[in-house]
């Protein structure tokens, strides 16, 4: 079956209703039922609880509390590199931005302007720059960390669809990451501007950042923006940036002539938080 046919049912599913329902279940404090759900999930997806700060699943009062669990402080040592991997996950794609086009999958690109919610001036800072798309599967640790030191300047909420973001869907739906709901975080760094985009998906109940808390819900039909130029919100390399309540994808943008990616990086390869992602040119 082709990827386009495989994703056809997603166009018909009531993705918003499914996402809202999943969010209610994930936030519910159901006692033994919640523990049973977590135990099933750990077994189904082979989640490594030995890395968790609290490995006892009976201590988590809701599924989301478990899903956004903290890791032990020694579980992800940070590499001595200019840029580290910000998540546990898999590399969907990475490399050079072709003018303003980001490669999604064979036959599919999307523009930097579309990704950041239509702000052409912001997108222009990444013309012919570099990008990385990282997919977080259900088994992964779902907090997102800083790849380098940075000062927060803006956050943009962009409404959109709620398609799945798994590899099959990325191959089958054009412009997936620029059509799904997303939260765009903009930073200034010693190497120039940097964007971290949190991409929503089916049953991703919400996305949150450490400086704002939960961004969605509420969901909106229009772009919302927060400016932080008058605040000194500094995050160090490895600091927590935000989290997904159920899994999704991050898309990072970097300016031209900044990065050389780690030679071990390859599409579909598994990556871990703290590993070397790239160094300055």
Active-site annotation holder among 3, 82, 88, 119: 88
| Among 62, 164, 206, 248, the one annotated catalytic | 248
Instruction: Show the tokens assigned to 133.
Output: 């798309």
The predicted pLDDT at position 189 comes to 96
Whether 142 is catalytic: no
Task: Give the Å distances, CA to CA, from 217 to 24, 56, 213, 229, 239.
Answer: 12, 29, 11, 25, 24
Answering whether pTM is above 0.85, one says yes
**Please, is 217 exposed, middle or buried when counting C-beta atoms within 10 Å of its C-beta (0-12, 13-18, 19+)?**
exposed
Helix (H, G, I), strand (E, B) or coil at 215: strand
Least confidently predicted of 45-54, 80-89, 165-174: 165-174
**239: annotated active-site residue:** no
Residue tagged active-site, from 92, 145, 191, 206: 145
Give every CB contact of residue 273 below 8 A, 6+ residues apart in sequence.
71, 76, 84, 85, 86, 87, 88, 141, 145
pLDDT for 226: 97
CA distances in angstroms from 21 to 29, 119, 249, listed in the order given: 15, 32, 21
- Across the chain, mean pLDDT equals 89
**pLDDT value at 265 more than 80:** yes
- Residue pLDDT, tens place only, 171-196: 778 788 888 899 999 999 999 999 99
Active site residue 264: no
26 or 145: whose pLDDT is higher?
A: 145
The pLDDT score that the predictor gives to residue 38 is 95
Q: What is the DSSP string of 234-268?
A: EE-TT-EEEEEES--EEEEEE-TT-EEE-TT--TT
* Amino acid 205: pLDDT: 58
> According to the model, what pLDDT value does residue 104 have?
87
Could you tell me the two tokens for 237?
Answer: 């390399």
């Amino acid at each position: 079956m082709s990827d386009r046919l495989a994703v056809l049912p997603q166009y018909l599913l009531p993705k918003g209703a499914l996402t809202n329902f999943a969010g209610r279940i994930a936030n519910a404090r159901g006692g033994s039922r919640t523990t049973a759900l977590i135990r099933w999930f750990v077994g189904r997806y082979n989640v490594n609880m030995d890395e968790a700060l609290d490995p006892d699943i009976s201590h988590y009062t809701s599924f989301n509390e478990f899903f956004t669990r903290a890791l032990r402080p020694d579980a992800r040592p940070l590499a001595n590199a200019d840029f580290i991997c910000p998540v546990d996950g898999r590399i969907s794609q990475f490399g050079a931005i072709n003018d303003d086009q980001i490669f999604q999958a064979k036959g599919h690109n999307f523009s930097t302007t579309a990704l950041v919610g239509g702000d052409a001036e912001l997108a222009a800072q990444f013309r012919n720059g570099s990008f990385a798309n990282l997919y977080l599967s259900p088994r992964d640790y779902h907090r997102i960390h800083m790849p380098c030191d940075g000062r927060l300047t803006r956050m943009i909420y962009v409404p959109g669809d709620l398609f799945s973001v798994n590899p099959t869907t990325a191959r089958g739906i054009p412009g997936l990451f620029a059509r799904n709901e997303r939260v765009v975080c903009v930073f200034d760094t010693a190497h120039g501007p940097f964007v971290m985009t949190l991409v929503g998906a089916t049953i991703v109940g919400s996305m949150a950042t450490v400086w704002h808390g939960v961004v969605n819900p509420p969901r909106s039909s229009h772009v919302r923006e927060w400016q932080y130029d008058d605040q000194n919100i500094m995050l160090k390399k490895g600091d927590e940036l935000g989290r997904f309540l159920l899994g999704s994808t991050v898309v990072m943008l970097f300016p031209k002539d900044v990065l050389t990616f780690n030679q071990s990086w390859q599409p579909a390869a598994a990556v871990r938080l703290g590993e070397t992602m790239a160094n300055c040119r």
